Amino acid sequence: GENVEQHPSTLSVQEGDSAVIKCTYSDSASNYFPWYKQELGKRPQLIIDIRSNVGEKKDQRIAVTLNKTAKHFSLHITETQPEDSAVYFCAAIYTGANSKLTFGKGITLSVRP
């Protein structure tokens, strides 16, 4: 089955700096890669996603890039703000029948004011 790994497990940046969170996946058939943000004590919420036919996607201060050859995808957050502090989960799935979304273990991002 699919295996998704996230590195590093924690990341601390200064407010205003950029943050990059990288994930690797094992199943070359995976074709959909969402990112979820979970603030302390709250539910995970989708913040951005990318399909395998796209190399990059942007939404205001966040972007996701996908490298299918290397089987990794990254979340980029620019101009970080304290409210960006949270746990970020990447996930991967092959969107065929009976496929299941596989999550990474999460990365804790801390933005220092």
Partner 1 sequence: NAGVTQTPKFRILKIGQSMTLQCTQDMNHNYMYWYRQDPGMGLKLIYYSVGAGITDKGEVPNGYNVSRSTTEDFPLRLELAAPSQTSVYFCASSYSQGASQPQHFGDGTRLSIL
List of residues contacting partner 1 (CB under 8 A): 9, 31-32, 34, 42-46, 49, 51, 89, 93, 95, 97-101, 103-106
Nearer to partner 1, 78 or 99 (CB): 99
Q: Nearest approach, Cβ of 36 to partner 1 (angstroms)?
A: 8
Q: Nearest approach, Cβ of 16 to partner 1 (angstroms)?
A: 28
Nearer to partner 1, 16 or 55 (CB): 55
Nearer to partner 1, 52 or 78 (CB): 52
Q: Nearest approach, Cβ of 31 to partner 1 (angstroms)?
A: 7
Centre a 10 Å sphere on the Cβ of residue 52 and count the other Cβ atoms it contains: 17
Six token digits for residue 44: 């995970």
Phi, psi of 84 (to 5 degrees): -80, -10
- Asked if 64 and 32 count as a contact pair (C-beta separation under 8 A), the reply is no
Q: Nearest approach, Cβ of 103 to partner 1 (angstroms)?
A: 4
Q: Under 8 Å CB-to-CB from 22, ≥6 apart: which residues?
A: 6, 7, 72, 73, 74
Nearer to partner 1, 9 or 14 (CB): 9
- Asked if 74 and 89 count as a contact pair (C-beta separation under 8 A), the reply is no
